[in-house]
Amino acid sequence: MPKVESKGLDAIVVGAGFSGLYQLHCLRDRLGLSALVLEAGAGVGGTWYWNRYPGARCDSESHGYCYSFSKELFEGWEWSERYPAQAEILRYLNYVADRLDLRRDIRLDARVSSARYDEPANLWHVTTEDGATFSARYLITAVGCLSTANIPEIPGLASFAGQWVHTGQWPHEGVDFSGKCVGVIGTGSTGIQAIPVIAQTGEHLTVFQRTANYSVPAQNAPLTPDFQRYVRENHTAIRDATRSTGNGQPFAIEDRSVFDVTPEQRQELYEAAWQKGGLQFRATFRDLLMDRAANETASDFIKAKIRQIVKDPATADNLADIDHPYAAKRPPIDTDYFETFNRPNVSLVDVRATPIEAITPSGLRTRDGREYPLDIIVFATGFDAMTGPLLRMNIVGRDGLTLAGAWRGGPRNYLGLQVAGFPNLFTITGPGSPSVLTNMPVAIEQHVEWITDCIAHMRAHDIARIEARPESMDRWVQSVNEAAHATLLPHTPHSWYLGANIPGKPRVFMPYAGGMVRYRDICGEIARKGYEGFALSR
């Protein structure tokens, strides 16, 4: 029998990253509830605790990629770079945990293995891998959208005599590439960050590319003292900016369409955006994700840049052979990604033309029979995004309904927050919310604050249970689909936004593409109407 560690909790929060830390603070310090965070890792940080691969860096600008709920917290930290690296973000989250005295209510090395709803007691019983069980009325998942590593099932992996690693489970002691032949599988955002750094120390790097990808230079640099001073003195303005944009970024999308300007003007605008760098490139025009012809102007500009940068024509052609609209998949930003293919110790293999057939004891073999000797294989193959972290917890709701069963045909919920049949279970930035299409801390703060206000309402009105109504989920799934199909986002069948990177996963567009401002308004209106669409019982 598992040992019962705690029965007297009001809430259990799973995960100690951006979401879990803020949710603990709100429940404990604002509502006065007894709350406990269960964290699988040996430290706080969530995504930034696990993702320590070379080149790991945020793609949102630092002054927007942080908590904004506290002026004191905001002004007490100073970022060093435009795009902070993993180590700096991890230091920031540890600073937050210390400033808010959160550690005393966080249990580390406590991976959740199951969570079961007890209807007669109206409690969630949560068990960790070490056999401990915790009980609470409210269960809140703060497990992140990109935290379940996707390791492809390639025949022969177990026979590989060298070392293999996944970027999302990077060894804390690091990996020594010096003098080694390295293979990187995957050229999404993670691979694009890691490849230039690995190439600097490995003897030879072979990049195995299945899907060519766009990327825009980050133009990362240390922050100037003047800009650091501006950030310190403008907390409210920066917070308001992130809350007034559809993607939660501290900059606005330009109010102009692609064909409002001449081709010459458009080229100048794209060139200026390229030199400025970062995600602001896609803010050059408002209709890039709405109109295919408009999008093609940005796509053609980036493809031309790739061919201009990469010296070998065949390699440039492979890198520019991109089969989807710009930003219809997650749009990476980089530091010297395309330039890296000009190095003599870097080669590119097109595994769409010659797929990987097997991993051998000494390397990797493609379908054309060619073998690539490797000492280290790096899987930059992403995650079972959005649903994976939730499903691996083995959540069981009313009458034995499993979350996996409820989502057999794809995720269905209301507002990305609740699922029918799972009372008092809240999912921070779950599928059906803006989450990965936004600057994550902004989406997280909105969800945490909504959940906190909801629980406060329940306690003030003696409400014991809240759960989504099935018909509310149906309407919300329809809204998510309509928002997606108003854009070019669903037109990339191999995107992880649709779960296409996981064999057997239902092809459903998961995030809400209607924008953070619209979503915030919808959630606020539902709360003002007494939590319309939810079943509440006393």
Tens of pLDDT, residues 381-413: 876 666 778 888 899 999 999 998 988 888 889
Pairing of strands 356-360, 363-366: antiparallel
Count of structural domains within the chain: 2
**Single-letter code of the amino acid located at 210:** R
User: Do 370 and 432 have their domain in common?
Assistant: no
What pLDDT is recorded for position 145?
Answer: 60
Instruction: Assess whether pLDDT exceeds 80 at residue 28.
Output: yes
Q: Which of 319, 347, 379 is the last residue of a domain?
A: 379
Closest C-alpha among 129, 306, 148 to residue 214: 306
What pLDDT is recorded for position 488?
Answer: 87
User: Do 173 and 271 have their domain in common?
Assistant: yes
User: Does residue 281 fall inside a structural domain?
Assistant: yes
The 3-state DSSP class for residue 108 equals: coil
What pLDDT is recorded for position 1?
Answer: 44
Work out the average pLDDT over 276-290: 94
Whole-number Å distance between alpha carbons of 201 and 195: 11
Residue numbers of the domain that contains 182: 157-379
What pLDDT is recorded for position 436?
Answer: 85
Q: Which of 352, 379, 406 is the last residue of a domain?
A: 379
pLDDT 10s digits, 46-64? 999 999 999 999 999 999 9
What pLDDT is recorded for position 494?
Answer: 67
Annotate 111-122 with DSSP letters as a single string.
Answer: -EEEEEEETTTT
Instruction: Assess whether pLDDT exceeds 50 at residue 504.
Output: yes
What pLDDT is recorded for position 518?
Answer: 96
User: Do 107 and 161 have their domain in common?
Assistant: no
Report the predicted TM-score, pTM, of the whole model to 2 decimal places: 0.94
Q: Which of 335, 351, 379 is the last residue of a domain?
A: 379
User: Do 286 and 427 have their domain in common?
Assistant: no
Whole-number Å distance between alpha carbons of 322 and 288: 16
pLDDT 10s digits, 461-501? 999 999 999 999 999 989 998 998 898 888 776 665 655 56
User: Do 344 and 475 have their domain in common?
Assistant: no
What pLDDT is recorded for position 383?
Answer: 62
Instruction: Assess whether pLDDT exceeds 50 at residue 187.
Output: yes
User: Does residue 73 fall inside a structural domain?
Assistant: no
What pLDDT is recorded for position 532?
Answer: 96
pLDDT 10s digits, 303-362? 999 999 999 999 999 999 999 999 888 889 999 999 999 999 999 999 999 999 999 999
* Percent of all residues in the chain with a pLDDT value above 70, rounded to a whole number: 94
What pLDDT is recorded for position 388?
Answer: 73
User: Do 344 and 432 have their domain in common?
Assistant: no
Q: What is the mean pLDDT of the chain?
A: 93
Work out the average pLDDT over 235-250: 94
User: Do 390 and 410 have their domain in common?
Assistant: yes
Whole-number Å distance between alpha carbons of 421 and 96: 35
User: Do 402 and 302 have their domain in common?
Assistant: no
What pLDDT is recorded for position 408?
Answer: 86
User: Do 214 and 242 have their domain in common?
Assistant: yes
CATH number of 493's domain: 3.50.50.60
Residue with tokens 């949560």: 126
